[in-house]
Amino acid sequence: MTELALPAGSLQAALVAFAEGADAVYLGMKSFSARAMATNFSFEDLAKLRRQALSQNKKIYVTVNTLVDDEQLPHVFQTLKSIEFLGCDGVIVQDLGLVHLIKTHFPSLPIHGSTQLAVHTIEGVKELARLGFERVVLARELTYEEIKRIREACPEVQLKVFIHGALCYSVSGLCMASEQLCSRSANCGACAQICRNYGTVQADEKVPASLSPLPKQQDTGWFFSMSDLKAGPMAKQLEQLGIDSLKVEGRMKSPAYTGLAARYYRAILDGKETEALDEALSVVFSRRQTGGWLSDYGRKQQNFTIRKAPTLGSTSYPGHRGVRLGLIGVVKQDRAVVHLERDISLRDGLLYFTKGRKEPIDTVKFGVRALYDAYHRSITHASKGETIEVLLPASEPLPHAREALYVISRHDQNPALLNEALPVFQKPIDLTIILEDEKLTLASGTIEQEYPLSLDRAKKAQDVEAHLSTVFSQSDTSYFTLGSYVIENRSSYDLSELFIPLSALKDIRRSWYALLDRSLGAELSAVMQLQPTAQIVQTEALPPRSLLQSSNGLPFYQVFEIRKALEEGKPLEAILCCFEGRYYLPLSPIMFNEAEFFLDMDAIITLLEERNERDLVRFGLNNIGQVSYARAKGLAVYLDVYFYLGNSAAANLALTFGLDLRGAYLWMERTSFDAARWPFSPAVVDEAFKPPLFISRSCFRHDSLLHSCEHCPHRGSWYVTASTDRYHVLVEDCITYVVSAR
């Protein structure tokens, strides 16, 4: 069966998800979660949920999916120790340093690859499997056919696919807008949602008008805002394809959203009616909705097929709009006459659009305080098909006739709060109980404690073993409980002759479990001491990263362009950057047509060999899917800026890739590193280097400006101004790159 995994931004959301049919939840701890603003989980919360999951045969996945530096490694080590103690069904990571940490110190924890790793190819999935990943969360930008090819080529790897929720404009893990513009790293859980900002588009006067066409009507909008993914009809197809898990996005959303999403997709997978659930879920939260790349992209793969499906953007309004209640017929002073397309009740939440002052449109949101029927009588509820009057909010702009009214909340949508006063997960321990005439000694692992206890002869035979088992099985609120036990009787009496006061045993039990809990607290709070590296690998000096850019200003090259230039006989110095006698070819971090990418690479290598220039070129790896090719071909490589090399543990893992590694750049959001702990010295990215803010599979020309694919040159150039920021938008072969133009 395909698993249904729901987001849990809080313990309440997780409990609701389980109650409504989710097979699993994914959640973050208080630190190192890509949704840092969610409530997230304390150790106690996770302990409670772990016990519930085990009792209900549900699964828990913990996200530790931010990039960390060496200073943070000891603290993430503490987090992993806590997770290991309680146990979980998978740790979702982006940072390859955490992979090294988990494999070295916490081998019992299954490793799952986050969508932040931007894995979208067969070789990317296979390389993660080689590194020990049991499951890969695929990039959200993949079509069904592309997922199918990965599934067929990688049958041994568990695959998880997003099926519902918000879509990022940029490929996940490649978005640098928040960090570049607001100093808030999306890769560290602090995304500022730059893609939801409103802006104005202008033509690029340096290119022909055909390469910079403006919208036919409005030149303002939310050009980088994506529609939400709602691919319910694809759920059964993905299940039949053998996808292991379907994932709903939304750890920042309410338990009501989590519960309804669980019910909706559970009903789909179980073949039940979903119409009412579909509407209810959209009312709780929905932007404009599409099937995303899964079903509404309009192409099966990255080619120039003319797209006829709806656009993927949500450029007219980026927020929650719910579902349409009906059209406004007449506005009477403080009331609107509406012919209902859906039911309505008092205390429901409504919305209508108005002309904005700073932006093209604004919204008026209000709760229903009064309803009137066709005879102007006050009512509390009205049904679909009726014509009613709704009391409008005072001191707000009035709507116009023929405008739509939307339902954005229901008075009864929030589920009843579930009890969170739950017992915690208790780890069974092996216990040795040593009985002597004047004391009782308890030992488990490295912990041993003596307790004064005078043993007497019983007046009648006692089942001492049963008494001890019963007492020490009752560990109350401790994080430990009795597992197996051994009794060593060193007293002057046979075991059946012993009398042990029950009250004394209970006091010892309370003291013992308190000791275990204190020891656990000390162990989990102990900070790992990072050790100096055992060996130093000498690498080549790399050029300032700002020097490595293509003719259009992007910090990587398209391999088909390099192939063409070589076939035309152009000299290397006219194609690639030269530094200290070596040439550098940084590869693109995206390669949706993997087979074509590697064919172009084959041709490049052949041409370089024919020119006796292969040894002069260093290839920059920007995606995990490029590792196996570089290893097989024996290429001289460096790890480039999109390889997330942010800590010494990631560097140590990189040395296990089997590459001819000539150097590496430090992760672009880091400006320093602790040389004593690194096995080699990475090049720090210079301040002049400015990566793209967004790298998107959403074509700006089609999805944002709404131009037809007919007669499209598959490229273009524009400028967008949003507040004080200005962006240069480039489209190359239907991929969008947005760079800062400040």
- pLDDT tens digits, residue range 506-556? 999 999 999 999 999 999 988 888 777 777 899 999 999 999 999 889 999
Domains in the chain and their CATH numbers?
3-169+227-295 (3.20.20.70), 323-409 (2.40.30.10), 427-525 (no CATH), 545-691 (no CATH), 695-740 (no CATH)
Q: Could you tell me the two tokens for 316?
A: 């007219």
pLDDT of residue 526: 86
Statement: residue 34 has pLDDT above 80: no
The answer to whether residue 115 scores a pLDDT higher than 70 is yes
pLDDT at res. 35: 61
Range 570-581 average pLDDT: 96
Q: Residue 114's pLDDT is what?
A: 96
Select from 685, 693, 710, 695 the least CA-distant residue to 620. 685
Buried/exposed 528-548: b ≥16 CB within 10 Å, e otherwise: eebeebeeeeebeebbebeeb
Residue 629 reports pLDDT greater than 90: yes
**How would residue 737 be classed by pLDDT, with cut points 50, 70 and 90?**
very high
* CB-neighbour burial class of residue 81 (10 A; exposed 0-12, middle 13-18, buried 19+): middle
The predicted structure's pLDDT at residue 358: 77
Does 39 score more than 90 pLDDT? no
- What DSSP character marks residue 692? -
Task: Tell me: pLDDT of 215 over 80.
Answer: yes
pLDDT (0 to 100) of residue 468? 95
The strands making up 582-586's β-sheet, listed across from edge to edge, are: 577-579, 582-586, 617-621, 636-639, 660-664
Looking at every residue in the chain, the average pLDDT score rounds to 94
Mean of pLDDT values over 679-701: 96
The pLDDT of residue 356: 80
Question: If you ran DSSP here, which 8-state letter would residue 542 be given?
Answer: P
- What count of Cα atoms within 13 Å lies in the side-chain half-sphere of residue 62? 29
| Range in 25-39, 302-316, 447-461 the model is least confident about | 25-39
Whether the CA torsion 462, 468, 469, 475 is positive or negative: it is positive
- Can you tell me the mean pLDDT for 219-240? 95
Helix H or strand E segment including 404: strand 404-409
Per-residue pLDDT reduced to its tens digit, 441-485: 999 999 999 999 998 898 888 899 999 999 999 999 999 999 999
- Per the DSSP assignment, residues forming a β-bridge with 381 are 345
pLDDT value, residue 348 = 98
Residue 33 has pLDDT above 80, yes or no: no
Using an 8 Å Cβ cutoff, are 532 and 573 in contact?
Answer: no
Asked whether 647 and 666 are in contact (CB, 8 A), the reply is: no
pLDDT at 36 over 70: no
| pLDDT tens-digit series, residues 136-177 | 999 999 999 999 999 999 999 999 999 999 999 999 899 999
For residue 218, the model assigns a pLDDT of 82
Number of H helices, E strands in the chain: 17, 37
DSSP codes of every residue in 341-372 = SS-EETT-EEEEEEE-SSSSEEEEEEE---EE
Mean pLDDT within 630-645: 97
- For residue 20, pLDDT beyond 80: yes
Cα 424 to its chain centre, rounded Å, is 27
pLDDT, tens digit, 9 for 90 and up, residues 379-393: 999 999 999 999 999
Indicate the residue type of 582.
R
